[in-house]
Copies of this chain bind each other. A is one copy, B any other.
Amino acid sequence: MKYIIKDLKIKGVTLTPQRMAIIEFLKSNLNHPTAEDIYKALEEKYPSMSIATVYSTLELLKANGYIQELSIRKRGKACFDFTSKNHHHFLCLKCDNIIDIESECINTCPIVKAGQLEGCKVGEIQAYLYGVCSECNKNTIKKNKNK
């Protein structure tokens, strides 16, 4: 967090209250918010803020590598991840939640490691796992028991 502020200052980027608030929000909301999520959350404290500012700040943070835009979308909307660390995502098909997967296992995929992909140079991997999360699984089991 701090390093972002410092970094951006060094880069000569103006740190407006809006930008600070968006960075702060992203830091404390790791549940992959959309631009709208951010806008709505900050609406109260910054009533005059425009959604265009949210978009432009997200673009700025993305371009500087502080956040990642996921390849997948939440109800048609782009969503963002406050980290540059390489990790993967699990999507619950029941509750729509996106859960981070810290596992390195996908990166150890032999074909990728060996760079054997027919001469391709692989930089980044984003894996999306679709399924039912533990919370939703529990609920299903409960329901079945009650029957």
Contact = CB atoms under 8 A, between A and B. Distances in A.
A137 B118 CA distance: 11
A21 interface: no
A127 B130 contact: no
A122 B90 CA distance: 8
Given A93-B123, A99-B120, A121-B132, 8 more contacts: A71-B72, A72-B72, A90-B120, A101-B111, A120-B131, A120-B133, A123-B132, A127-B127
Interface residues of A, number: 34
19 contacts: A71-B72, A72-B72, A93-B123, A103-B111, A105-B109, A106-B109, A112-B129, A117-B129, A117-B131, A119-B133, A119-B134, A120-B131, A120-B132, A120-B133, A124-B129, A124-B130, A125-B128, A125-B129, A125-B130
**Total identical chains:** 2
A77 B107 CA distance: 28
Interface in A62-116: 71-72, 90, 92-93, 99, 101, 103, 105-106, 109-112
A120 B93 contact: no
Interface of A: 71-72, 90, 92-93, 99, 101, 103, 105-106, 109-112, 117-134, 137-138
